[in-house]
Amino acid sequence: MTQKHTDLITFKGSPLTLLGKQVQPGDKAPDFTVRKGLTPDSAYTLASDAGKTRILNVVPSLDTPVCDLQTRHFNQEAANLGQSVAIVTISMDLPPAQARWCAAAGVENLTMTSDYYDHSFAKAYGLLIDELGLLARTVIIIDPDDTVRYVQLVSEVAEEPNYEAVLVAAREVLSE
């Protein structure tokens, strides 16, 4: 039976239900398969950026103001973090919508991926919002050894993450 959590996130103050078990720092990062394009051969998995620190920028939908701001922010930070970091945006948006959004926003430094097809990421990380069929706003850092090092589940879906906390955690992983 799938775990249900009604005490972790809200949308404008109203509780939402998260399905599954959320990952925690210290956990081995569960593998997942999301897509960078429309075809199955456009898959992205943890192995796609093996040996790098991965920052998973998880957003409900790029066509909303907070997701737009969050993803643009990480696009700007990507250059400052260097080649040993991969920032991967994961949403339920279809790849063509993601590509259209990136072109309009000038976002070029992130790997854009969709969990629309089989919710592999949502299920593995416990981040599917039952009422909306979208991902919960979260930032996860996974080290080069595939260990979850940092998780920031944003408790209010309509708010941005604490970027400074994410960057401090990322720099800590990178300095090891």
Helix axes 163-174, 65-81, angle to 10 degrees: 30
Which residues lie below 8 Å from residue 168, measured CB to CB, with a gap of 6+? none
Phi, psi of 161, deg, nearest 5 = -70, 170
- 67 catalytic, yes or no? yes
DSSP assignment letter at 88 = E
Q: Which is the catalytic residue, given 67, 122, 153, 173?
A: 67
CB atoms within 10 A of CB 52: 16
d(CA 157, CA 136): 7
Known catalytic residues are 67
